[in-house]
A and B are shown apart, each in its own frame.
Chain A
Amino acid sequence: MRDMKELQVSLNQTQKVRLQTAIQQLEKFTARVSSSADASVTVAETISVNHEEGVLKGHGTSEVDGEIVATLCGVVEKVNKLVYVRTLRARYKPETGDIIVGRVIEVAPKRWRLEINFSQDAVLMLSSMNLPDGIQRRRTATDELNMRSIFEENDVICAEVRGFQHDGTLHLQARSQKYGKLEKGQLLSVSSYLVKRRKQHFHHLQDYGIDLILGCNGFVWVGEHVEVRDDMITDDQENKPELSKPNFKSMSLEEQEQTYTPLDTRQNICRIANAVRVLTSLGITLTVDVIIATVEMSKTLNFDIHEMVGAEFYVQVAEKEVERRSSSTKKK
């Protein structure tokens, strides 16, 4: 199995046994709750449709000699007459309205190119984002020249999927103050099937003073909380000194204060990031509740931040997940 490939954990004998039992129990729960486990297919496997007429072939299927055959490994889903294969490990497939986190790789004329774990780079047009001053107007040549003052190469950005253009390129938009550059935090890239589409992808964890963004594309941002409203007004003045590359020597004390992140916030960022790392290497779906529960668990059991990516915590998270699922199935 692919366990622990991402985290180099070495388990001792008892931990191995405990992990195995935990995983077997997870297997049982899934099998009990839904029949989806039986519906898993591999490449070139025939999908039985019980001789129904007029079946619609969706993603991951093709027709060979009148039979529907899977072209991917995944789980067969049937919605009325539509039959498709939902992939597990695969690159991100964008849908309009998805909230994503990406990294700028190129500043091109009137646009930024972003790496978003899709088969192509996404495009964020200068015209499809709000200017820092918040005024609605036509973008001028000056704006175009000042693009690097908004986003530079390697900046991490949060945006929304606007849709595919007729030529097949993916366009993004950032028309709200909640979108934009992400600073003072960590970017984690996980498999995109572990993030489900929800109403909420921005989470402000008040207890920790942290912003958590679960991008649909599998990029997870854990960063210091920023007040959205205040930012909008002061953005223009505040960002000016940063534009000319933050240089601690030339900065006044006041400015240093602004860019300074307190130690406990930084520790919280690391704790949450490590929780995400452990959960993803176990292959558990990322939701805020599970992440917070994992962080809380690490605190109550007195695990240091660095111990969270160790063997013992890894096994305990797996056991905790079993507990959580068994209690949730009982409720039903």
Chain B
Amino acid sequence: MEYVSPEGLRLDGRRPMEMRQIRAELGAIAKADGSALFEMGNTKVTAAVYGPREVENKSQQLNDRALVRCEYGMANFSTGDRMRKPKGDRRSTEISLVIRQTLEACIMTHLMPRSQIDVFVQVLQADGGTRSACINAATLALADAGIPMRDLATSCSAGYLNSTPLLDLNYVEDSAGGPDVTVGILSKMDKVTLLQMDGKLPMETFETVMQLAVDGCKAIAKYIREVLQENTKQLEYRRGL
């Protein structure tokens, strides 16, 4: 199948290096300490952060740092064909783990000993790149909850189809079976915290694809920063003196 037309346009009309439209909103869930809604094109994800709070299970308590827990869930209605088992499948467990590890790398857990931070991410609409969207949403929610972090962790995916590197794959491109690289970076420190790839790629191409994904991450980081800045200003203005 042709994923990039001779004119250089993808199935949804984007250029190969183009990202889908991103949109973020803070405070989507009133009860949570921090929450965010993140959209990448048709992929829509909410994240809620509770904590730092008292550890529920005392045997898991860590005396030198905070315990970070993460739960990833996909709504039954998020994909075209209705999902049978919404929770507890291997895919969800794996993504929960990936998100947790990425976030743990950037949260300054040693500042909050003997406490736990719960992150819940829920996919409302899945259209490829849910992993990345979840990490971005979780970062925003953590920043909203006022949890100290070393840097903003952002994530983006890229693929290689029809011998063209493509940024931010959607569902159709994702299910094409080509190689698919998901990268998570700490934008300011220029460190990679997550790197996953399905399929195989020659070394040279891999580097260009990964660079593309890293550039995508940086663009997302820039946007996230703007959203946070605006939110902080608003809160300060309204609070008064």
| A contact residues vs B (CB 8 Å cutoff) | 1-2, 5-6, 23, 26-27, 29-31, 33-34, 36-37, 40-45, 60, 62, 64, 69, 71-75, 87-91, 115, 119-121, 168, 193-194, 282-285, 321, 325
Contact = CB atoms under 8 A, between A and B. Distances in A.
A44 B189 CA distance: 9
B237 A37 contact: yes
Given A44-B187, A69-B188, A89-B144, A36 B236 contact: yes
B143 interface: yes
Given A6-B30, A119-B115, A120-B115, A89 B235 contact: yes
A299 to B, nearest CB: 23
Interface in B199-241: 225, 228-229, 231-241
Contacts of A44: 149-152, 186-189
Contact of B236 (A40, A42, A90): A40
B239 A283 contact: yes
B108 interface: yes
A15 B42 CA distance: 31
A23 B145 contact: no
Interface stretch (B11-19, B46-54, B123-131): B46-54
Given A44-B187, A91-B33, A120-B114, A73 B236 contact: no
Nearest to B115: A119
A284 B237 contact: no
A90 B146 contact: yes
28 contacts: A2-B27, A5-B27, A23-B238, A26-B238, A30-B240, A42-B143, A42-B228, A42-B229, A44-B152, A44-B186, A64-B189, A71-B150, A72-B143, A72-B149, A73-B144, A73-B146, A89-B33, A89-B145, A91-B33, A91-B51, A115-B54, A119-B53, A119-B112, A121-B54, A168-B114, A284-B238, A321-B240, A325-B240
Interface of B: 26-30, 33-34, 51-54, 66, 108, 112-115, 143-152, 186-189, 225, 228-229, 231-241
Identify the interface centre among A89, A115, A168, A194: most chain B CB within 10 Å of its CB: A89
